[in-house]
Structures are given as C-alpha cells and as structure tokens.
Amino acid sequence: MTTFSMVRSVQAGVFFAGLLSVFACVNKPVVSGPLLALAEESGSVCEVDESVTTRSAAYSANVELTASVALPGRAAVDVVMSSRGAIAAVNTENSALLHWVNPATGEINQTVELSSQVSDVAFDGASRLAIATEDRLIFVDIATGEETDRIRLAGVNRVAITPDGHVAAIAGNIVHLFAPDGREVFTKQRDYTGVTDVEVRSCGEQQLVYVTSFRNATFTAINNRRNPVQIGRLEAMDFSGDVQWSLFGDRAERIKQNVADTRLYRVTLGRDGYLYIAGESAGTA
C-alpha cells in the first residue's frame, strides 16, 4: 500500500494552502480528517500576485500532518490537484495506477491502470494530465481517465504542460519542447552532470522553458589545491531553445573558499505567477 498524506503550514496564501506529499509504505492506516485544497481557483500562472512577496515569513513555518489516505500500489510517484480533486500516481510491480481522491473525505472516487510505470505527472490546469512513462509521454482526460494522445520519447523522466497545450520534457540531459499539436518545437542538449526538472510558461508573448540542473566541477582554493564542487543552475530558454537568463551556476574559476555543493532539483510555476525552485546546499554557501 501507499500513503497519500497532507501536511499543513500556517501559510494560507495564493500558491499553497499546505504541502502535499506521498509516501510508500505497507498497511499504513488511514488517518481521519479532510485533505486540504492546494491552490486558489482564482489564481493564474500568468498573473503575478505581488502581495506574495510581503508574506515571505509564512513560507518558512513548521508543518504538521493533518491527514493520510492509504492507496493501492507499491511506490508513490506524484500528486496533482485538479477540479476533480487530487490525482495521485502510484507505481505497481510493472505498471502504474492513477487514483482520483476526494480532498474533503479521502475517498478514492476512481482508479485507472496504466500499462507502464510513470516517473512524473503534470496538469494543464483545465482538463488534461501529461504523464512521463518509461518510453513515452501520454495524455489523460481527467474527466474520463482515458488516454487521449501520446508522444514517443525514450528515457523521458520529467514533464510539464501549459494551459494552452505546450509540453516540455526531459530525457536524460536533453530538453524537449512540443507544440499543442504534438509537433516538436526544439530539442536541446544541456552540458551538465544532471538535468533534474523542467517547467514551461506560455502567456501571450511570454514563452519560456525553465530548467534546473547541477554540474560537477573543481576550483582552486586559497591554498592552491584543486577541490571538487557541485554547482546548481536555473536557466530560462525561449521557444527557440536559446537561453534568455540564468541564476546561480557561477564559474568554478570564480570560487575561492567558503563554498558548498549545491543542487537544484525541482521547478514549478505557482498560481500566484511566481516561479518556485527547490534544491539543497551542503555546508555554507
């Protein structure tokens, strides 16, 4: 069995009313209590809510478990919130299950089996899921649970989709962008140790693909010894595949001392219009 869990923070802003996670476990009992909604329906990834920056203290509060629902399956993968509630993806031995869960009661309303295991799920904010499976992207209608389309893509492990149907994906260290009709817009190799996540924004003329990554490098310390270091990076590419801006990722030659390994793992657009990234730093940066 797999447990679908909810932890609650004191922040009740536009993007998250809590943090949602799924855990793999065996025979975990159900904890009573409603699962909280994650996003305000009135929010938009295309409209920046500037008031969010005045509430920064609320984003660092401790969290506590409020509810937990046991789901059939072996290993939890991902969960998205939709107009039909939470949709959780769970891998089984050789396939995967999608569970539609009522956020208010924890009741499983629908389950759909997929033919292969999945590594990521994205929601377009309206009616479709984009799912990264072992060798293809598949698209599922959230109302019926039926597959509506697919794109073959060997090695795909991350996916993102916009409300207008643009799809970005990562396969190995290659970033792919597809148009709403499935046509490939660009393919770009990234020269990093690990390319970890992708997000895509298509808001009128504001069209960007965001990519998180890290690379292994070495730097010369003040004692003239070469030391290893990992350097995280966030970059934004336009729809031709050209990098428009980047954050972090300083050249190793600029590093002298007091450094830490950094990795960026995840990137997502919030319904407050801001870009959120997650990563880690080992030591002092």
DSSP structure string for 206-249: EEEEEEEEEEEEEEE-TTS-EEEEEEEEEEEE-TTS-EEEEEE-
Report residue 169 as tokens. Answer: 């994906």
| Residue 57 main-chain phi, psi, to 5 deg | -60, -30
State how far the Cα of 114 lies from the Cα of 98, in Å rounded to an integer.
8
Q: pTM (2 decimals)?
A: 0.82
Give the closest residue to 154 by CA, choosing from 201, 122, 112, 116.
116
What pLDDT, on the 0 to 100 scale, is given for residue 54?
61
CB 3 within 8 A of CB 25: yes
Contacts of 266 (CB under 8 A, 6+ apart): 196, 197, 212, 277, 278, 279
Residue-wise pLDDT tens digits, 148-168: 999 999 999 999 999 999 999
| Radius of gyration from C-alpha coordinates of the chain | 20
What pLDDT, on the 0 to 100 scale, is given for residue 3?
61
Each residue's pLDDT expressed in tens, for the chain with a length of 285 residues: 666 554 433 332 223 223 333 434 333 434 444 444 444 455 678 888 777 666 544 455 566 666 678 888 899 999 999 989 899 999 999 999 999 998 888 899 999 999 999 999 999 999 999 999 999 999 999 999 999 999 999 999 999 999 999 999 999 999 999 999 999 999 999 999 999 999 999 998 899 999 999 998 888 777 788 888 888 999 999 999 999 999 987 776 666 666 678 889 999 998 888 999 998 888 543
CB 158 within 8 A of CB 213: no
What pLDDT, on the 0 to 100 scale, is given for residue 198?
98
What pLDDT, on the 0 to 100 scale, is given for residue 10?
30
What pLDDT, on the 0 to 100 scale, is given for residue 221?
76
- 116: helix, strand or coil: coil
What pLDDT, on the 0 to 100 scale, is given for residue 43?
63
CB 265 within 8 A of CB 278: yes
How long is the chain?
285
Give the closest residue to 237 by CA, choosing from 279, 159, 185, 163.
185
Angle CA(190)–CA(195)–CA(200) in degrees, nearest 5?
90
Contacts of 14 (CB under 8 A, 6+ apart): 39, 40, 43, 49, 52, 270, 271, 272
Report residue 238 as tokens. Answer: 């336009």
What pLDDT, on the 0 to 100 scale, is given for residue 122?
97
What pLDDT, on the 0 to 100 scale, is given for residue 39?
43
